Amino acid sequence: MSKLPFGKKNYQLMVIGLVVLTVGFIIMTLDKEQHGFGVLGLTVGPIIVMAGFIVEIFAILHRPSDR
């Protein structure tokens, strides 16, 4: 039995969440409108960033199956 607070699945979900967060922020920087006021900067990017935070929260709250 492992003494680590998270299982392998938790860490995998955390990495996936970080990747989704990074992609969301990169999408926000790709907006060519002034000060990022286009569709990518105001709609698509923030939705993807929020999805990344939701994945991170789920990764933290997910109970490892070996307990």
Q: What is the pLDDT of residues 13-29, one digit of tens each?
A: 999 999 999 999 999 99
Per-residue pLDDT at 35: 86
Per-residue pLDDT at 66: 56
**In terms of pLDDT, which residue wins out, 65 or 17?**
17
pLDDT tens per residue, range 28-62: 999 999 888 999 999 999 999 999 999 999 999 99
Between CA 35 and CA 55 the distance in angstroms is: 28
Is residue 32 helix, strand or coil?
coil
Q: How many C-beta atoms surround the C-beta of residue 45 within 10 A?
A: 22
Burial class (CB in 10 A: 0-12, 13-18, 19+), 52: buried
Burial class (CB in 10 A: 0-12, 13-18, 19+), 5: exposed
C-beta separation of 8 from 36 below 8 A? no
